[in-house]
Chains A and B, each alone.
Chain A
């Protein structure tokens, strides 16, 4: 079974703090994704990566950056957290572009910015 793990289930940070969310997958998948999930809005793509050190912006990249130094690890960075970034953050991976529809998700990190 593919396993996608995220570093924290719950996180509380203060406005202006730098926040790191970590994601690790154990199946040698090429693609990795970061989404945020908000009630009624579904999942919105923040960034994705199709290879080590490669990244592309998704639909809502403002206020976020990412890092992929190793194939199995994809980090989401909030440079200066703001209250409107309070959300559930989901990481996902997929085997390759031919299988991008079949994404495996981590359990999510619920981030609260106060």
Chain B
């Protein structure tokens, strides 16, 4: 079945540092890929998406590129802020259905 693997956290960075959170997936065909973010005490919210190979999703300074050849969708941000501290989930919807499959989540902690 479909699966998503994320780097284990927590990831601890200083403010203005460069962020990369790795995400790789296993799925047949051409899934759609997503990043969700969960801020402390809140529910998950969709951060960005990419629906076909080489698409780049972007939002709030975050970017991720759908790489079919490496089955990856790594999340990046050039300069993180304390307010970016949250748990980030990579997810996919495969061709076979409409259900989201989530990765394990990566906690990001940004220190001033």
- A12-51: CB near B (< 8 Å → 1, else 0) gives 0000000000000000000000000100111111001000
Please report the total number of B residues contacting A with Cβ < 8 Å: 21
Q: Which of B62-70, B78-86, B93-101 contacts A (4 or more CB under 8 A)?
A: B93-101
Q: Closest A residue to B38 by CB, please name it.
A: A105
**Smallest beta-carbon distance B82→chain A, Å:** 21
Tell me the nearest residue of chain A to B92, going by C-beta: A101
Q: What mask results when residues 49 to 85 of chain A are scored 1 for a CB within 8 Å of chain B, else 0?
A: 0000000001000000000000000000000000000
- Pick the contact of A97: B8, B46, B98 (CB < 8 A): B98
How many residues on A have C-beta within 8 angstroms of the other chain's C-beta atoms? 22
* Nearest B residue to A91, CB-CB: B43
Q: How far is the CA of A103 from the CA of B99 in the complex (A)?
A: 10
Known A42-B89, A101-B34: A107·B42 in contact at CB below 8 Å:
yes
Complex Cα distance A104/B103, Å?
17
**Distance in angstroms between the alpha carbons of A42 and B98 in the assembled complex:** 18
Which residue of chain A is the closest to B43 with respect to CB atoms?
A105
Q: Which residue from A40, A48, A102 sits with its C-beta under 8 Å from B46?
A: A102
Q: Which residues on A are within 8 Å of B, measured CB to CB?
A: 4, 37, 40-45, 48, 58, 90, 92, 97, 100-108
**Sample (17) of A-B pairs whose CB atoms are under 8 Å apart:** A40-B104, A42-B4, A42-B89, A42-B104, A43-B102, A44-B102, A45-B99, A92-B44, A100-B100, A101-B32, A101-B49, A103-B46, A104-B45, A105-B45, A107-B41, A107-B43, A108-B43
